A = this chain, B = another copy of it.
Amino acid sequence: MNLYRVMNIKNKIGVRIKLLRNDLKISQEELGFRSNIDRTYITDVENGRRNISVEVLERVIKGLNTTFNDFFNTQDFK
């Protein structure tokens, strides 16, 4: 059973953000600070509740010290 298969794009992105954030061992609050995004909005995005725009996603991705290229370079985005 592959959970990623039944997840929508918002869930996949949320899971990916959370994974990369945990790798960095930083809090949602710290990511919000680095990305200049409200902390409560990060919570919603990580839990697949918000349809984030590409400009804000770019700030998240930079806050995670990565790139669009690497962010989407995983099996669940194929």
Contacts and interface: CB of A to CB of B under 8 A. Distances in A.
Contacts of A9: 54-55, 58, 68
Copies in the complex: 2
A78 interface: yes
Interface residues of A, number: 20
Contacts of A40: none
A54 to B, nearest CB: 5
Nearest to A58: B9
A77 interface: yes
A57 B58 CA distance: 14
A13 interface: yes
A51 interface: yes
